[in-house]
Amino acid sequence: MLAKRIIPCLDIKDGQTVKGTNFVNLRQAGDPVELGSAYSKQGADELVYLDITASHEGRKTFTELVGRIAAAINIPFTVGGGINELADVDRLLGAGADKVSINSAAIRRPELVDEIAGKFGSQVCVVAIDARETDGNWECYLNGGRVATGRNLFDWAREVCDRGAGEILFTSMNHDGVKCGFANEALARLADELTIPVIASGGAGEMAHFRDAFTDGKADAALAASVFHFGEIAIPELKHYLQAEGISVRI
Amino acid sequence: MNVAIVKYNAGNICSVVNAVRRLGTEPLVTDSPEALMKADRVIFPGQGEASHTMTYLRQHKLDEVIRSLKQPVLGICIGMQLMCRHSEEGDTACLGIFDAEVKRFVPALRTDKVPQMGWNTISNTRSPLFKGFAPEEFVYFVHSYYVPLNADTAAQTHYIQPYSAALQRDNFYATQFHPEKSGMVGERILRNFMEI
């Protein structure tokens, strides 16, 4: 049976792992390759590395890091951050990434999704969507939540799915960093409306939140950062808990 | 041990190179018929679309070379599908090493997403590739097309319906999943392949 995936997310700045709470106040949390290997050994099903460096120099550092990750790690990993055009995708896949995650660039130019899917296949194209709920309306945001786009979460998700995205990585900005659980209602609606896997992100605080994202939220995978980085939840324990709760996981 | 990896117009060869390196062997990535024929092991990996990759293989005469190989050959993902007789993807005539048809997943339920992406179990293994395996092990799959169960099925899995997770006939081995991305289990499969 296909397992539900547990995905630690590592935010990278200047070659180091960081994690923001509500997208600000970054804290150091270790070497990316070492941390990724440790997660892989603990049973993480996949890894996501997000480059939050804006500079050209930082991007070069990140590409080199992707090469080192690919050499060391034997599970799939996705990279994101600063991907604006097909050449960026080519560069990161060439360095050994399995998938790329695009966010702002897709909103600015939706055809990029078609181009990535057409050239490299849908399976490499993860579209990340950051959205916030206000009075029952889910709106997509850019630049770590600073810029509202006017786009509706569900309309945008359907559009990128039709354009050939392979997966949706949905972060609820209302839930991110708050540790009170994932946005399960919105997740379930995405899962029902889309024909591609949905990764839940934002809100993990305890093990039951992962269970709820898979049952109530019908998510295919759940992503979290700080609960893993700071040892609040250990992946082996989480997996055993989920298995005991009747959820198919890889152990 | 000389390990050659078939170089063609498919993506994701780099992760196979890395996986072979982790076993302590430097592989040769090549489209030279002589180099492929001389190697102790040949890996035919990749992600891609069937008709484009087959056209490329024919243009470079690699179709005949792969079919004629006598040493252990391991096809991975699209590599395995191209080793079959025919694929529904682009209505493509393939290499015909395995007498099987490659079909597209048809979702039975709303919850059946295509491609299948993620970790699934394999069982009923019967091949030296799976030496030392537990009855069920998780491996990593990413695919929209599948090979039904047939006489050459060497491991099976279940997504929407049961189908072939691996095939074997004579010196030809193939996995639908990605051993190079399947953690320690995948590493054991690659090591077993080297030790056949």
CB contact under 8 Å between B118 and A123, yes or no, is no
Comparing A1 with B122, the larger pLDDT belongs to B122
Is the distance from CB of B166 to CB of B174 less than 8 angstroms?
A: yes
Is the distance from CB of B7 to CB of B44 less than 8 angstroms?
A: no
Question: Rounded to whole angstroms, how far apart are CA atoms B187 and A72?
Answer: 12
pLDDT at A23 over 70: no
Longest Cα–Cα distance of chain A, Å, equals: 47
Nearest by Cα to A49 from A120, A91, A112, A100: A100
- Please indicate if any CB of chain A lies within 8 Å of the CB of B158: yes
Q: Degrees (nearest 5) of the Cα angle B74, B80, B84?
A: 120
Ordered mean pLDDT values, 10 residues apiece, chain B (196 residues)? 91 89 96 96 89 92 97 97 96 97 92 90 97 95 96 97 98 98 97 97
**First-last CA distance in chain A:** 13
Q: In this structure, what DSSP letter does residue B123 have?
A: B
pLDDT in tens, A168-188: 999 999 999 889 999 999 999
Q: Is the peptide bond before B115 cis (omega within 30 degrees of 0)?
A: yes
CB contact under 8 Å between A75 and B182, yes or no, is yes
Tell me which chain B residue has its CA closest to the CA of residue A248: B120
Q: Which of residues 162-191 of A touch B (CB under 8 A)?
A: 166-167, 191
pLDDT of residue A24: 39
pLDDT of residue A61: 87
Which domains are seen in chain A, by residue range? 5-244 (3.20.20.70)
Provide the domain count of chain B: 1
Reading the block at residue A66, the tokens are 């992707």
Q: Is B180 a catalytic residue?
A: yes
Question: Rounded to whole angstroms, how far apart are CA atoms A5 and A78?
Answer: 13
Nearest to B11 among A76, A120, A197 (CB): A120
Q: CB burial class (10 A; 0-12, 13-18, 19+) of residue A236?
A: exposed
Question: Rounded to whole angstroms, how far apart are CA atoms A99 and B33?
Answer: 31
Question: Rounded to whole angstroms, how far apart are CA atoms A116 and A110?
Answer: 11
- Per-residue pLDDT band for A58 (boundaries 50, 70, 90) equals confident
Tell me which chain B residue has its CA closest to the CA of residue A121: B48
Give me the interface pTM, i.e. the ipTM.
0.91
For B18, the 3-state DSSP assignment is helix
Residue A241: what are its φ and ψ, rounded to 5°?
A: -60, -50
Quick one: how far is CA A223 from the chain centroid?
A: 6
Q: How many CB atoms within 10 Å of residue A111?
A: 10
Give chain B positions within 8 Å (CB) of A94: 14
- Please indicate if any CB of chain A lies within 8 Å of the CB of B114: yes
Is the distance from CB of A81 to CB of A59 less than 8 angstroms?
A: no
Q: Which of A84-93, A208-217, B104-113 has the lowest mean pLDDT?
A: B104-113
Q: How far is B159 from chain A (nearest CA, A)?
A: 7
pLDDT at A25 over 80: no
Question: Rounded to whole angstroms, how far apart are CA atoms A237 and A225?
Answer: 16
CATH number reported for the structural domain that contains residue B190 in this entry: 3.40.50.880
pLDDT in tens, A96-111: 999 999 999 999 999 9
pLDDT at A112 over 90: yes
Quick one: how far is CA B153 from the chain centroid?
A: 12
Q: Is A130 a catalytic residue?
A: yes
Q: Which of A8-22, A40-54, A220-234, B158-172 has the lowest mean pLDDT?
A: A8-22
Domain that holds residue B38: 3-195
CB contact under 8 Å between B187 and A74, yes or no, is yes
3-state secondary structure chain A: CCCCEEEEEEEEECCEEEEEECCEEEEECCCHHHHHHHHHHHCCCCEEEEECCCCHHHHHHHHHHHHHHHHHCCCCEEEECCCCCHHHHHHHHHCCCCEEEECHHHHHCCHHHHHHHHHHCHHHEEEEEEEEEECCEEEEEEHHHCEEEEEEHHHHHHHHHHHCCCEEEEEECCCCCCCCCCCHHHHHHHHHHCCCCEEEECCCCCHHHHHHHHHCCCCCEEEECHHHHCCCCCHHHHHHHHHHCCCCCCC
pLDDT of residue A54: 67
Is the distance from CB of A17 to CB of A11 less than 8 angstroms?
A: yes
